[in-house]
Amino acid sequence: MLDYLGIAYKLVTLVDTITQFAVIILGALGFSLPFGLYIARMISFELRPLEKPLAKVERGFFKLIGIDADKQMTWKQYFLAVFTTSVISILFVILVLSFQNYLPSSQHVNGLSIDLAFHTATSFITNTDLQHYVGENQLSILSQMIALTFAMFIAPAIGIATAFAFIRGFIRKNFGLGNFYVDFVRVIITLLLPVAFISSLLLMITGVPQTLNSSVTINTIEGNNQTISMGPVASLESIKELGENGGGFFGANSAHPFENPTGLSNTYEMFLMIVIPLSFPIAYAKLLGKGRGISILAIILIGFGGLLVFGIYTHPASSLIETRFGSFSSTLFNMISIASNTGAINASLAGMTPNAVISFLVSMFVQALPGGAGTGMVYMLVYVLLTLFVVGLMVGKTPEFMGMKISPKDVKIAMFIFLVHPALILIPTAIAFTTGNAQVIIGEKVTPLGYTQTFYEFTSAAANNGSDYFGASANTPFWNWSTGIIVFLGRYIPIGLMLVIAGSFSSKDRKEVIEPIKTKGLTFVSIVLVVTFLLTALAFFPFLVIGPFSM
């Protein structure tokens, strides 16, 4: 006899799953259209909506910091500006965290150790937000506001500005890559701040608290007093998700009911995480051709969709899944978060199936499905260059991109950008095991799960992602210094090399000819996906076999 009740339940669950996914993706795509068109105007210096008042505010900032807004930078000057801004910001955050106990409203906390302060500062300024601390216990309200929330605006602005410079290398000849300080200020003032402000209000409506009180004492139903940590959570949460940051106000991150109280907040936070990454293909389409932009968007969505389907093939273990979200919403949230290099999680990674963990790792290997704010788009274009080179070898044609020759130097740099990632993961993973520092956390007997947890830690650090298994248990000098160095190298080596490629293309001759290999259409989309996953498999598959595939 048919189990009609069971069939009906499965159908309702399937409809709910499809509806939720469609609302998030279609909603994000809908909002990415105006966002992308606005970003295209910022890249090409076209007049923006409300140009006069915006320009007036921006000129005030440029005058305050002594910036010549009309000066164009070479790739070297642009990278130096990126690097200098980042280092100064890291030093500022280190000072605040190290001496937070001397700052106002910090009576209940001590200053962080130098290794933990270094790790936290580099992690947040590099858009990684890997946390080896418990925020509600170890940080003051002031530190959360002026150090971490500050860093959450700085980090995505740097990534987005880098993408601006990279794309300009393909659309303008001998005109420089723009001015980093102009891009940086404009991104923060006219993109991140207003959207984050509105999102803070919307999150407050869903139940996320926003207060300057560090805690509140309540009387429980048993008649006992209980102190509950609180703070300006909504303002941090909004830029955390919008800027693909991922660092939580609380140690439990987005699984904490104050950061993510309801299904509505859960859906909106997923939406926030992918709006900016999906906006860049729209901007790319506006500047470099509709067909090319749609093809890049298709690559991202197909690649992400494939990883998601693989990840949800079996359901996560229910004991570690938030009951207010359920299996699919938890897996979808984590997949969107990790694929967009946000790194926030609303359910423990230990509750995810091996399939889901493999999907998370592959998305961090690729870093472009859709990847982080700005940098994800640049990584995708690097894969495009590598694909054109590989296909050019196969068909016997000189690789070109939009009428510009791809030189051997360009290919070498693009390949180095790809290869530096596995090096930054595998070398420190080997060191962690050979020195015994991994065994301190996972136990003396190295199991596939323990190996996966260690491997995942350095993968997350190198990818500037921030999700991890270890959490505060990794608050030791070895783990703080090692992952702190890896997040720094994983951010600035690729950015520097990306700007070298941009500088190279900005000086190339453009030819109005038919491309030897069309950089749009279904064939192009298929080839880029195959080459991207083939390169990823060649670099990482053996380590997946001894890790999550064996769990």
Q: Is residue 312 part of a domain?
A: no
Q: Is residue 317 part of a domain?
A: no
C-alpha R_g of the chain: 23
pLDDT the model gives residue 1: 45
Averaged pLDDT of the chain = 90
> Which is nearest to 216 in space by CA: 202, 200, 233, 240?
233
Please indicate, yes or no, whether residues 267 and 415 belong to a single structural domain of this protein.
Answer: no
Q: How many Å apart are CA 112 and CA 315, to the nearest integer?
A: 39
> Which is nearest to 243 in space by CA: 205, 284, 200, 210?
200
pLDDT the model gives residue 43: 94
Please indicate, yes or no, whether residues 391 and 261 belong to a single structural domain of this protein.
Answer: no
Q: Is residue 537 part of a domain?
A: yes
Q: What are the helix (H) ranges across 221-262?
A: 233-242
Please indicate, yes or no, whether residues 164 and 272 belong to a single structural domain of this protein.
Answer: yes
Q: Is residue 358 part of a domain?
A: no
What the block records as the tokens of 164 is 């601006």
In degrees, rounded to 5, the angle at the alpha carbon of residue 161 between the alpha carbons of residues 145 and 61 is 60
Q: How many Å apart are CA 432 and CA 423, to the nearest integer?
A: 14
pLDDT the model gives residue 303: 95
CB 348 within 8 A of CB 357: no
Q: Which of 239-248, 300-309, 436-445, 502-511 has the lowest mean pLDDT?
A: 502-511
Q: Is it the case that residue 72 has pLDDT exceeding 60?
A: yes
Higher pLDDT among residues 461 and 394, named by residue: 461
Please indicate, yes or no, whether residues 92 and 232 belong to a single structural domain of this protein.
Answer: yes
Confidence of residue 525 (pLDDT cuts 50, 70, 90): very high
Q: Which of 322-331, 469-478, 485-494 has the lowest mean pLDDT?
A: 322-331
Which among 265, 287, 309 is the end of a domain?
Answer: 287
Please indicate, yes or no, whether residues 100 and 247 belong to a single structural domain of this protein.
Answer: yes
Could you count the other beta carbons within 10 Å of the beta carbon of residue 444? 8
The 10s digit of each residue's pLDDT in 154-188 is: 999 999 999 999 999 998 776 779 999 999 999 99
What the block records as the tokens of 29 is 């795509």
Q: Is the peptide bond before 370 cis (omega within 30 degrees of 0)?
A: yes
Could you count the other beta carbons within 10 Å of the beta carbon of residue 112? 26
CB 32 within 8 A of CB 275: yes
73: left (phi over 0), alpha (psi -120 to 50) or beta: beta
Could you count the other beta carbons within 10 Å of the beta carbon of residue 139? 24
Higher pLDDT among residues 187 and 327, named by residue: 187
Please indicate, yes or no, whether residues 531 and 432 belong to a single structural domain of this protein.
Answer: yes
Please indicate, yes or no, whether residues 377 and 262 belong to a single structural domain of this protein.
Answer: no
Q: How many Å apart are CA 11 and CA 335, to the nearest integer?
A: 23
Q: How many Å apart are CA 133 and CA 120, to the nearest integer?
A: 8
Q: Which of 56-60, 242-246, 277-281, 298-302 has the lowest mean pLDDT?
A: 56-60
Confidence of residue 206 (pLDDT cuts 50, 70, 90): very high
Could you count the other beta carbons within 10 Å of the beta carbon of residue 482? 23
Which among 261, 287, 313 is the end of a domain?
Answer: 287
Q: How many domains does the chain have?
A: 2
Q: Is residue 484 part of a domain?
A: yes
Q: What are the helix (H) ranges across 248-262?
A: none
Q: Is it the case that residue 56 has pLDDT exceeding 50?
A: yes
Query: What value does the mean pLDDT take over residues 131-157?
Result: 94
Q: Which of 58-72, 358-372, 410-424, 485-499 has the lowest mean pLDDT?
A: 58-72
Could you count the other beta carbons within 10 Å of the beta carbon of residue 94? 21
Query: What value does the mean pLDDT take over residues 516-530?
Result: 90
Strand positions, DSSP E, 288-427: 400-401, 404-405
Q: Is residue 311 part of a domain?
A: no
Q: Is 320 helix (H, G, I), strand (E, B) or coil?
A: helix
Please indicate, yes or no, whether residues 492 and 379 belong to a single structural domain of this protein.
Answer: yes
Q: How many Å apart are CA 183 and CA 388, to the nearest integer?
A: 30
pLDDT the model gives residue 104: 83
Q: Which residues touch 384 (CB under 8 Å, ≥6 apart)?
A: 296, 401, 519, 528
pLDDT the model gives residue 263: 87
What is the total residue count of the chain?
551
Percent of the chain with pLDDT over 90: 66
In the DSSP assignment, the letter for residue 190 is I
Percent of the chain with pLDDT over 70: 94
CB 253 within 8 A of CB 466: no
Please indicate, yes or no, whether residues 395 and 276 belong to a single structural domain of this protein.
Answer: no
Domain that holds residue 380: 373-550
pLDDT the model gives residue 328: 81
Report how many helices (DSSP H) and strands (DSSP E) the chain contains, helices first: 20, 4
Q: Is residue 338 part of a domain?
A: no
Please indicate, yes or no, whether residues 393 and 541 belong to a single structural domain of this protein.
Answer: yes
CB 321 within 8 A of CB 314: no
Side-chain half-sphere exposure of 481, counting CA atoms within 13 A? 9
The strand pairing partners of 225, in sequence order, are: 219
pLDDT the model gives residue 200: 96
Q: Which of 3-7, 174-178, 370-374, 388-392 has the lowest mean pLDDT?
A: 3-7
Q: Is it the case that residue 335 has pLDDT exceeding 60?
A: yes
Side-chain half-sphere exposure of 446, counting CA atoms within 13 A? 16
> Which is nearest to 132 in space by CA: 441, 459, 472?
472
In degrees, rounded to 5, the angle at the alpha carbon of residue 513 between the alpha carbons of residues 510 and 514 is 130
First to last CA, the chain: 37
Q: Is residue 243 part of a domain?
A: yes
